[in-house]
Amino acid sequence: MPTLRIALAQVNSTVGDIAGNTAEIRRWSQAASEAGAHLVAFPEMMLTGYPIEDLVFRNSFVDASRRALRSLAADLAADGLGELAVVVGYVDADGPAAISSDATPGSGRRDASALLYRGEVVATYFKHHLPNYGVFDEDRYFEPGDALTVVRLGGVDVALTVCEDIWQAGGPFTAARRAGVGLVVNINASPYELNKDDVRLPLVQRRAAEAGATVAYVNMIGGQDELVFDGDSMIVGPDGSLLARAGQFTAELLVHDLDLPVAGTTPNQAGSTDAAKPPVEQEIADDMAIHRTVVEADLAALDGRRDGGVADRIADEAEVWAALVMGLRDYVDKNGFRSVVLGLSGGIDSAVVAAIAVDALGPERVTGVSLPSGYSSEHSKDDAADLAKRTGLNYRVEPIQPMVDAFLANLSLSGLAVENLQARVRGVILMALSNADGHLVLTTGNKSELAVGYSTLYGDSVGGFNPLKDVPKTMVWQLARWRNTQGEPPIPENSITKPPSAELRPDQKDSDSLPDYEVLDPIIKGYVDQDLGRAELIAAGNDPALVDRVLRLVDLAEYKRRQSAPGTKISGKAFGRDRRLPITNRFREGAGS
Amino acid sequence: MPTLRIALAQVNSTVGDIAGNTAEIRRWSQAASEAGAHLVAFPEMMLTGYPIEDLVFRNSFVDASRRALRSLAADLAADGLGELAVVVGYVDADGPAAISSDATPGSGRRDASALLYRGEVVATYFKHHLPNYGVFDEDRYFEPGDALTVVRLGGVDVALTVCEDIWQAGGPFTAARRAGVGLVVNINASPYELNKDDVRLPLVQRRAAEAGATVAYVNMIGGQDELVFDGDSMIVGPDGSLLARAGQFTAELLVHDLDLPVAGTTPNQAGSTDAAKPPVEQEIADDMAIHRTVVEADLAALDGRRDGGVADRIADEAEVWAALVMGLRDYVDKNGFRSVVLGLSGGIDSAVVAAIAVDALGPERVTGVSLPSGYSSEHSKDDAADLAKRTGLNYRVEPIQPMVDAFLANLSLSGLAVENLQARVRGVILMALSNADGHLVLTTGNKSELAVGYSTLYGDSVGGFNPLKDVPKTMVWQLARWRNTQGEPPIPENSITKPPSAELRPDQKDSDSLPDYEVLDPIIKGYVDQDLGRAELIAAGNDPALVDRVLRLVDLAEYKRRQSAPGTKISGKAFGRDRRLPITNRFREGAGS
């Protein structure tokens, strides 16, 4: 039984930065080679970044990806890494591409995996199952492959697959069983959701059973716009045993030795069924062709035995915090911002965003601005200053009253218009500081208040990135308490314990306008995240009057957003489902409709 | 040969307003009955509105659609319209739906057409070809049907199809030939693009030849968020002759008498080929089942002969103007706004938006605000006042200098930050008026300046709807000149002829920062709309230095938008392609990259 030393490169890539991604591949390939690996696998679309969306329709971009792949193979050989088999994701096209997104099916774009060896692209595989739900739109972008690629490497048959191929029964994994492979390499760009790691392991186990082979699953890390990727790469044996597993949100090379069957010796290849193998969950006909490539390679001798180990799982709060920190850091760094600015109200939301920003970027790249009005309480100002002191961020105070007074003296305004005016003056100041100093403006509204419209358009909603936009208020508190247990507490205790208030009029409290967050959040989750209707929410045990009140608030919030900012919908890409609703929508769930 | 009097109801529907859409169907069915029609056809998804996007994942919504269809059949009979066959689009599901958008394929949702007769749903058809390009994402929402529905009505075989079925060869139209039908009814929600009517007629002709049958094509009108539907319904004979055609952007009932073959007499049904029929463009195997329903109905005798006529095509400018007016009116009315407000600079963009708004809503529902600063020229203020007088809109003047001075006195700002501050103070004032009076704020930036980032985020970009966001500057001028030839000219000549300026610093002109719009617009069109790269743009005859300059501007504009408003991408839904680009994207087309 040959022993293959495999390295899974759980690393980061950046959309469009083909040169940077290529450098990253060469760097980690060097590390894999130094660890004695025979094969290193990189994530899906490593060369181009993921997701590339409509960039796929630009010929110059697809051509750049294809050219870069060939150059990479040559460069790796020039680096002295020719004997290392490198599996890498990229975008391919069937021929000289001349299409646009208006084309009818047949665009010829492929979400592809290639195996590079001795300076050549020796084999390619095109993703077969294309996800088209949640945050995925791959039916728009790609054509599915219909052949499995098997590479014989040092006497072991290795099948190449991509991401969604592992989420659906049938197709490549069934074909891999028929082909009798010893190893299936599955390269991924699988976005983080809370507790997604609990789903992945049983999934990889099912597919290993289906293929009757060891499965090596490698996933990327990093933030890309509203998505965050968490890694969690792993290797699972054909019997479902977890052989090795990487951490979450960590850049690492998971190196593990696998004893794999010699090619041609597995019973499946001869067409017989191996009763000793675990049963396949479902017998699914597959009509995939099998393309075989033989790489003439002697596997280098190994310096003892390498075990990748199984990394500990982390707590929910640690997982979410790590995702928020990574998502913000990558948004800032990949877009080339040097610094961020945010308003500090003394409340919990801006305090948590500031703590995330300082963890992500360091205090010297974060500016917090206290923007007090006549309605700001002393404790708010004190809590903002306390947070600044605890975190060490750059702190300044810009009272807003003179500007507010100028508007009030020249316009006849009352009630809500006056409340919103204060928030908008703050927005103008933050944007002016952004223009002057090049800061990215961070928004601090949590998902609960965004869902019910408890915010001011062009006011506290101003900003280029909002770490909390998919974090419900109850989880904001939970995160704050957890973070304060990790070393020096960054968040003032008073910001956590005091009743939340927008402070846009005297003695204002969130509870004047909203139900308690403990009862509000589950209804928002049901209505916004799970598409439950009124009857279903009541059947789930929520108070009917409360359900009606919250559904009215959410529907009205959609209306308020329409009034002023058509692009502004609630979206939950990082931690939930992408939500795509019509702006004009008269469907009402309320009683009697 | 039986004569079928068919009515195509080219009407409007509203997403989510099932009750309102139902009332519309009953009203137009009454009209069709009074015209003596045997069959009336309504557009795709008439019952629910189109597109419903993620609403399809809410069970309560799909259930409401299905219940409403059955009620509608009964209500039509109660209205005395039971003898009228009514074809109507709705959303269906295979069973009690219990899915979400995270589901893997098999959601069971259907984009459906039903034929109602004598109080019953006598037949249903599920759309076969699902578009998943441009503005369409139907693979996300629906499962394709795999059977053709044929209803024998008064001895004539009628096939039901939906929208995209007609845009692709093969499938239902091939099956219709095999089934030997006399008529194919194709119901549509086909969005407007410039000159799309030039594409539709040859398309319907090809499909009529493929089916060897008359094709009745009915399309909706109206605005839905960023989409506008233009109608252009038509009837084409099996020989490709255009028998009748409705207008563009008009609500109307196209009534036409068709002499159709008696069911069972067409050669195709017996399996033979009719050499006299026009050749099918491509022989395509179809494996669709054919579901036949026989409606026992005697066609009522006709009161003479009805010919729907062929409406004249309108000029390009008239077409675009009508689309902009309809899109704005429906956005305002369907969302329940009473009025709109916009800033009037005296320039061409705000003048054209004001003229569109007045045409759409009447002058009493439009408020124009002159917001002069110290840099505003006398002619700007005069031109704004002149426009107000010509159009009769509500006019007010709110000088911004006192508020700008308050900011400048309290913040240390210079250069671009001061320019942007003026635009943002204007935005705050417009939003305050919106809060106070409930106006929808209209944005006035044209596509050219949006593409190159020549606007201020949270400044002149403030607003809930921008009629010009997909209209290049050169077309803005073209539209203004055209509109001024239609009756009393609403737009001051000086606004059309003077050099464009943002007036944010002394003697500022657009030409200080941008190439001439005559050379800028073609490059934007190539890069943004057509996904052309640098080499392709140069090969198309554009000056290389200019291409590099414009590509840098467009890429930088994406960066500026990122800095402050992640949802704000250039999108061309109404008149071009939807564009979905990653926010974080380091791919650069510029020379040397």
Each residue's pLDDT tens digit, A402-441 = 999 999 999 989 888 999 999 999 999 999 999 999 999 9
Of residues B404 and A269, the one with the higher pLDDT is: B404
The two tokens of residue B460 are 């002149």
**CB–CB of A432 and B440 under 8 A?**
no
Answer yes or no: is B133 a known binding residue.
yes
pLDDT above 90 for B457? no
Of residues B160 and B275, the one with the higher pLDDT is: B160
**CB–CB of B64 and A16 under 8 A?**
no
Which residues, at least 6 apart from B545, have a Cβ–Cβ distance to it below 8 Å? none
d(CA A361, CA B435): 37
Q: Compute the average pLDDT of residues B364-383.
A: 94
The string of DSSP letters for A426-448 reads: HHHHHHHHHHHH-PEEBP---HH
List, in sequence order, every residue forming a beta bridge with A367; answer none if it has no partner. Answer: A341, A394
> Any catalytic annotation for residue A498?
no
Catalytic residue (choose from B24, B138, B163, B319): B163
Starting at the edge strand found earlier in the chain, the sheet holding B340-343 runs: B394-397, B366-370, B340-343, B440-441
Lowest mean pLDDT among A428-437, B181-190, B387-396: A428-437
Q: Using a CB-CB distance cutoff of 8 angstroms, which residues of chain A are in contact with residue B58?
A: 531-533
Which residues, at least 6 apart from B412, have a Cβ–Cβ distance to it below 8 Å? A436
User: Letter for the amino acid at B531?
Assistant: D
Q: Using a CB-CB distance cutoff of 8 angstroms, which residues of chain A are in contact with residue B559?
A: 335-336
Catalytic residue (choose from A163, A210, A473, A525): A163
- pLDDT (0 to 100) of residue A577: 43
How distant, in Å, are the alpha carbons of A138, A328, A339 from that of A364? 40, 15, 8
Q: Using a CB-CB distance cutoff of 8 angstroms, which residues of chain A are in contact with residue B54?
A: 531, 579-581
Work out the minimum CA distance from B279 to partner chain A, whole angstroms.
23
d(CA B348, CA B517): 14
Of residues A562 and B409, the one with the higher pLDDT is: B409
> Any catalytic annotation for residue A569?
no
* Structure ipTM: 0.90
Q: Residue B27: which pLDDT band, with cuts at 50, 70 and 90? A: very high
Main-chain phi, psi angles of B240, to 5 degrees: 90, 0
Answer yes or no: is B260 a known binding residue.
no
Main-chain phi, psi angles of B462, to 5 degrees: -65, 135
Q: Compute the average pLDDT of residues B340-351.
A: 96
Which residues, at least 6 apart from A301, have a Cβ–Cβ distance to it below 8 Å? none
**CB–CB of A587 and B55 under 8 A?**
yes
Q: What share of chain A is helix, strand, coil (3-state, %, to 5)?
A: 40, 20, 45
- pLDDT (0 to 100) of residue A469: 86
A422 touches chain B (CB under 8 A): no
Residues of chain A with pLDDT under 70: 95-107, 266-285, 561-579, 582, 584, 589-593
Per the CB < 8 A criterion, the answer to whether A234 and A214 are in contact is: no
Q: Compute the average pLDDT of residues B55-70.
A: 93
Work out the minimum CA distance from B83 to partner chain A, whole angstroms.
30
B132 touches chain A (CB under 8 A): yes
How distant, in Å, are the alpha carbons of A186, B180, B211, B332, B491 from that of B283? 40, 16, 11, 47, 55
**CB–CB of A567 and B567 under 8 A?**
yes
B565 touches chain A (CB under 8 A): yes
How distant, in Å, are the alpha carbons of A260, A534, B120 from that of B25? 67, 27, 15
- pLDDT (0 to 100) of residue A264: 83
- pLDDT (0 to 100) of residue B469: 86
Starting at the edge strand found earlier in the chain, the sheet holding A120-126 runs: A120-126, A109-117, A85-93, A39-41, A3-10, A252-259
Angle, helices B401-410/A416-437, rounded to nearest 10 degrees: 60
The mean predicted confidence, pLDDT, of chain B is 89
**Contacts A–B by Cβ distance under 8 A:** 295
**CB–CB of A58 and B579 under 8 A?**
no
- pLDDT (0 to 100) of residue B528: 85
pLDDT above 80 for B273? no
Angle ∠(A358,A363,A368) on CA atoms, nearest 5 = 85
Main-chain phi, psi angles of B375, to 5 degrees: -90, -5
A109 touches chain B (CB under 8 A): no
> Any catalytic annotation for residue B493?
no
**CB–CB of B587 and A64 under 8 A?**
yes
pLDDT tens digit string along B533-583?
999 999 999 999 999 999 999 888 877 766 655 443 443 333 344 567 767
Q: Which residue has the tokens 């495999």?
A: A6
**CB–CB of A14 and B535 under 8 A?**
no
Per the CB < 8 A criterion, the answer to whether A114 and A87 are in contact is: yes
Q: Among A251, A230, A220, which Cα is nearest to A42's?
A: A220
